[in-house]
Amino acid sequence: MTTEQEILLSKINSRQAKVAVIGLGYVGLPLAVEFARVGFHTFGIDVDHRKVATLNAGRSYVIDVPQSDLAEVVISGKLTGTSDFGVLRGCDAVSICVPTPLSKTHDPDLSYVISAIDEVAKHVHPGMLIILESTTYPGTTDEIIIPKVVGNGHEVGQDVFVAFSPERTDPGRKDFTLKTTPKIVGGATPACLEVASALYSHVTGRTVPVSSVAAAEMAKLLENTFRAVNIALANEILLMCDKLGLDAWEIIEAAATKPYGFMKFTPGPGVGGHCIPLDPQYLSWKLRTLDYNARFIQLAEEINRHMPAYWVNKVVDVLNAAKKSVNGSQVLVLGVTYKPDIDDLRESPALDIIKLLSKLGARVSYHDPFVNSLKPEGLETPCVELTEGYIRSVDCVMVIADHSIYDWDWIRASARAIVDCRNVFKKRF
């Protein structure tokens, strides 16, 4: 064990280490708050000055971070927000939690990761631990992160330490949180793994060490590729049952009674959030560079991306049954977030559904208790007050996210027609 590793482990174990979290979104802010809550002096770094100001005012803007928890660590001085990367000079550990979107050509966009590690590289020093949490393809840490670090003359595993530990954030979830969800950790060397595992042991009940950073990167992609493929299968079962005149939900519920060998997935309007629609494409892209065609991933994406059009066709069908054209009809969309009871619009299929309906000439409005405006998404769709009178006035109600705040009894009783993507009422069209 080197002197730098021994000193860093001592600081971590005594919670005297200073920790920085780069990226204060759905992943970074909860992580920063948790590090601060257990006693680490923590800096939250973000180039968005509004997020930094909101954090420093003790106001939470992420649904998984209670206002009281954030205010407590800010007031105590354990958590400070900043846009100045210079604070890294005094930090012992830094976790990178920035977005990893896809480009318009569906290739990985690592510009945020590269920008973050470029800033870290300016301030890297002996005894520093650098962890990437952003989801990415296997090889990113080895190919991008480590060269930036050793480019400054440091030796990984000797005087600086590098690891990958994929985030496992599921916004709005209460049963599995940062503290209760096992944390996968892969180190660039055994020393790196030991140091990173020691740090995360303070904020999670269990760390899961793997053999390399690439193994940790791959494990994360497997998790979400598994979900994407199985959601696509459930969506295709819906398409099949539609052709066969069967109720897909009845079939799935019946199959789910088998106590082994079956895991229940349900159909819906598509897939949303940062992970499921995007992560499998990182794996598919990486395999294309190795002359391999990831056919399951491509087929799953094709099916899932088709679902908004499928549900729009159902709106057309119910309007036709009422002798109405979709062109000029009023359609109310209930819930525009990608899952219930959160404010997250990332990759929400509701946005595609609204665009498709509007393109057909429908007059679309929406209600969502968590989203006041869709203008930042480029949609001029009005947000309306949800009343029985308004529901009676529209030609069709379309359910996307079944928020628990909705009173489904009077919504169902008041609506002229309902197209329910989430099967809230266990009854089809």
Q: Which amino acid is residue 72, in one-letter code?
A: E
Q: Which amino acid is residue 290, in one-letter code?
A: L
Nearest to 132 by CA among 99, 169, 106: 99
163: helix, strand or coil: strand
Active site residue 275: yes
> Rounded CA gap, 167 and 178, in Å?
9
Phi, psi of 131 (to 5 degrees): -125, 130
From the list 91, 97, 241, 275, the catalytic residue is 275
> Rounded CA gap, 117 and 132, in Å?
9
For 382, other C-beta atoms within 10 Å of its C-beta total 12
Query: Could you tell me if 186 and 210 are in contact, meaning their C-beta atoms sit under 8 angstroms apart?
Result: yes
Nearest to 137 by CA among 177, 106, 110: 110
| CB proximity list for 253: less than 8 A, separation 6 or greater | none
Q: Which two tokens stand for residue 37?
A: 């809550």
> Rounded CA gap, 40 and 34, in Å?
9
Q: Which two tokens stand for residue 47?
A: 């180039």
Query: Could you tell me if 41 and 20 are in contact, meaning their C-beta atoms sit under 8 angstroms apart?
Result: no
Q: Which two tokens stand for residue 311?
A: 């549900």
* Catalytically active residues, by annotation: 275
